[in-house]
Amino acid sequence: MHPPVVIGHEFSGEVVETGSEVHTVNVGDRVSAESHIPCNHCQICHEGNRHVCPNTKCIGVHRDGCFAEYIAIPEEIAFVYNDPALPWEQLALMEPFGVSVHGMMDVPLATKSVVIIGVGPLGQMGILVARLAGAARIIVLEPNRERAETARALGADAVNNPTAEDPVAAVKRLTDGYGPHVVVDFSGSAAGLSAAMRYLRPEGQLTCVALPDQPISVSISDFGYRGCSIRGIAGRRIYENWEQMRGLLARGIDLSPIVSHVLPLDQFERGLDMTERGQCAKCILIP
């Protein structure tokens, strides 16, 4: 980032003007947006992996973002969703929702046991996705009491505090001793990831959505002997995850519990402070 630049990349809004070469987005459309702008010309893009394009430009980093009354975006990243039944506040969640969908739906979840580590906003969305995707059992590991209560309200089958009970023993107990089929980490905790590598079921997958806070030692021999895999998640698959989100919204997924606060834009410092302290889920700012 090279300041000055307007930050912010999670938003919704009404289109008030379009350029002369815009053909699929119209004035009056309700839109959210992909925050990554791939080049569409490199080999990575041509292989269908735009989400990891090495030439990506990001809203709020390389060009002005959404902490403003207006924002200009390329047509190709506009996510048009004109159903007025979806409130603006929830439409603003599409960017982080897409990350959660990418992490949760990287492997089939139907009939599987799933562990979710950390239930901040993305982990909370992960619970909702796992339920709709048909997970047989959803186990949450979360030390924060308020977030643990939220996880139960959202439909988690079991919630454990990994600082109060050994997570390896707890998860093994809850999965008949075998471990879960899938673990999705939304915490970035080195301790949480290290434990997951020990309780993951043979042939299971550990999906890393969050960025670890420090390097982690991995026994490749043990992981390989059990046939397990580790998968990193970067942003959203463009445009696959967006269409999955559209389907989940059509199926009635309710993101309203993720919006805990709505503030005017000029109170952005209060919203950022609550976020940093873990005192809110998603705080929406209204210009």
Residues 6+ apart with CB under 8 A from 106: 205, 207, 231, 233
- What is the topology classification, in CATH, of domain 107-232? Rossmann fold (3.40.50)
How much is the pLDDT for 271? 95
* Segment 242-263, tens digit of pLDDT: 999 999 999 999 999 999 999 9
Q: What's the pTM?
A: 0.94
| First and final C-alpha spacing in the chain | 23
Helix (H) or strand (E) holding 37: strand 36-37
* Segment 147-170, tens digit of pLDDT: 999 999 999 999 999 999 999 999
Report the alpha-carbon distance of residue 152 to residue 123 in Å, rounded. Answer: 12
Q: What's the CATH superfamily of 13-97+238-254?
A: Medium-chain alcohol dehydrogenases, catalytic domain (3.90.180.10)
Block residue for tokens 């209060």: 270
Residue ranges per domain, the chain? 13-97+238-254, 107-232
Inter-residue contact 100 to 209 (CB < 8 Å): yes
Report the alpha-carbon distance of residue 133 to residue 135 in Å, rounded. Answer: 6
Block residue for tokens 């735009």: 50
Report the alpha-carbon distance of residue 90 to residue 94 in Å, rounded. Answer: 7
Residue 212 confidence class, pLDDT cut points 50, 70, 90: confident
Distance of CA 178 to the CA centre of its chain: 27
* Segment 48-58, tens digit of pLDDT: 999 999 999 99
Q: How far is CA 20 from CA 23, 31, 53, 273, in A?
A: 8, 19, 27, 41
Mean pLDDT to the nearest integer, 213-229: 87
